[in-house]
Structure 1
Amino acid sequence: MKIGEVATRSGCHPETVRYYERIGLLPAPPRTASGYRDYRSTDVDRLRFISRGRDLGFSLEEIRSLLGLAEDDGLSCQDVDRLARVHLVDIQARLGDLQRMAAELERVIGSCSGGERGQCVILDTLRRPLTSTEK
């Protein structure tokens, strides 16, 4: 199948398909006599795997590792489990950071009097350095 069809079936934009091929996440497909890329259903599956990994927040390098694990019949599920657990810890840390940011924004917004821009609490907060409790 041509790039338009593989893009449609996988849910990826054609330029994303080309990008994944350029960085080695998707093997370069064979070309037809007229020079068109000739993708297979396994390429669609791989693109869906990559897209789903991105949806779950995995970096491209983590997805590269997961693809390697998926293709190595000699590895156990423990290797995949270990990578997923590390990623989960990272997500939980980011959630904590986001919750702290939301709380600080709520505090700053709550103290905003809606007065003149020169006296804006929100802008003043952004100008001052972080305290040790905000880091």
Structure 2
Amino acid sequence: MMNDVLLNFSAGAIEVVVPLLIYRLYAKRKETRVFLLSAIGAVMPLLLVHSAVSLLFIVGLHADIIFPFYALWGKNIALYLGLLLVGLGVGFAFFRRASAMRAFWVGAIAASLICTVVLAVQVIVRS
């Protein structure tokens, strides 16, 4: 059975390595840019939250940031992988029909809309 430290470390490694791998593939193969940029666009909001929490943890401005920093990686891995799949799906749908920046923004907007719908469904179900 996995303990919390190993789970958080492996989830954090996945969340850091996947964008670097996508960037490496993006830089290497020009024909897959639309496909990969939509995936990066889909996970970009989550990566920005991760970056902000990590920066606050490293700088140490808030004493209460320890729990969110350690809980962030393990709790968000399912959301991260789901958004990555949404971005890849959007990239597959727009493959070779859109510019690279349009694919990035469509991936980001699609992921945000799906998160909004999921949160709305949770609120409706709980009430």
TM-score, normalization by structure 2: 0.31
Higher helix content, 1 or 2: 2
